[in-house]
């Protein structure tokens, strides 16, 4: 059985900053936005607030950005759970150069005889960049 990732979701207190970053800097396209009820947000995330869901697209990658005027909790960076996601592109070096020129914060981590590249968004979320094989 082959599987693919359907989408990645992130919750932010700064939706316009995040949406602008992913569209202006990383080249995502903004898609639909809709309101999610308090009951649904509590059932899914344990956060009893009404929220807005905005979809961003980059090729086949879909990023769901959740935001609210209500009380969103801080991410616990010392806990367990997801801390980054991977993005595969045709030419990693060209992609990194293009996005860095556009204002992306890029982490280059030396590992053995190569570099591992991460892009950090304004909320501190990490995107590890791979090259399609």
Close Cβ partners of 24 (under 8 Å, ≥ 6 residues apart) = 102, 103
- Percent of the chain exceeding pLDDT 70 equals 90
**Where do the domains of the chain lie, and which CATH numbers do they carry?**
8-69+83-131 (3.10.180.10)
The encoded tokens of residue 47 equal: 């956060």
Residue with tokens 């616990």: 76
Give me the torsion for CA of 41, 43, 46, 51, rounded to 10°: 0
- List pLDDT tens digits, range 101-111: 999 999 998 88
Are 8 and 83 spatial neighbours (Cβ–Cβ below 8 Å)? no
More confident residue, 133 or 95: 95
Mean pLDDT throughout 26-48? 91
Q: For residues 62 and 6, is the Cβ–Cβ distance under 8 A?
A: yes
Q: What is the mean pLDDT of residues 20-45?
A: 93
């Amino acid at each position: 059985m082959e599987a693919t990732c359907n989408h990645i979701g992130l919750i932010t207190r700064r939706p316009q900053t995040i949406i602008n970053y992913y569209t202006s800097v990383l080249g995502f396209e903004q898609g639909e936005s809709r309101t999610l009820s308090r009951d649904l947000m509590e059932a899914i995330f344990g956060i009893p607030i009404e929220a807005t869901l905005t979809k961003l697209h980059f090729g086949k990658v879909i990023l769901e950005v959740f935001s609210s005027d209500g009380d969103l909790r801080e991410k616990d960076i010392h806990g367990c759970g997801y801390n980054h996601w991977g993005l595969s592109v045709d030419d990693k070096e060209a992609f990194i150069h293009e996005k860095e020129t556009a204002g992306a914060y890029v982490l280059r981590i030396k590992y053995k005889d190569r570099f591992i590249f991460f892009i950090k968004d304004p909320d501190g979320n990490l995107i590890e960049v791979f090259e399609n094989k």
